Amino acid sequence: MAPFVKSCLLNDKVQFLRIFADVGFNMHEFATMKTVEELYTVEAHRNLPSRITIERVKKTLQKIIGHHLLTNNTQIPRRHHITHRPTFKDIHDSL
């Protein structure tokens, strides 16, 4: 039964899975951690492009995070050096 259920999941045959669920198939028993990892791995490999470019990575990160991440500037901006880190006493005295 498990190989058929995996096949239904991988081929997006939701109706078959609904029929199984309606007759008592317990998806929680089927979906072990290993099975879920396997299914996600297969699906991830299906959707991988043959070549991953910086532009594709940039677009993917923009979709996930939702704003412009990378610039065309090749230099990495330098962080400003903090010369004085406030102490607890400094913060307390300023209150």
Q: Which residue did the predictor score with more confidence, 77 or 24?
A: 24
Q: Is the pLDDT of residue 94 over 70?
A: no
Q: Where are the domains of the chain?
A: 2-65
Q: Model-level pTM?
A: 0.40
pLDDT digits (tens, 9 = 90+) for 25-78: 887 787 788 888 888 888 777 777 777 788 888 887 787 776 655 555 555 555
Greatest mean pLDDT range, 3-7, 20-24, 89-93: 20-24
Residue-level pLDDT at 32: 82
**Structure tokens that stand for 33 in this block:** 């951690």
Give the CA angle between residues 60, 65, 71 to the nearest 5°. 70
Query: Hey, what's the torsion of the CAs at 55, 57, 58, 63, to 10 degrees?
Result: 130
Closest CA to 16 of 7, 8, 6: 8
CA-to-CA distance for 70 and 77, rounded, in angstroms?
12
CA nearest 10: which of 47, 32, 48, 43? Answer: 43
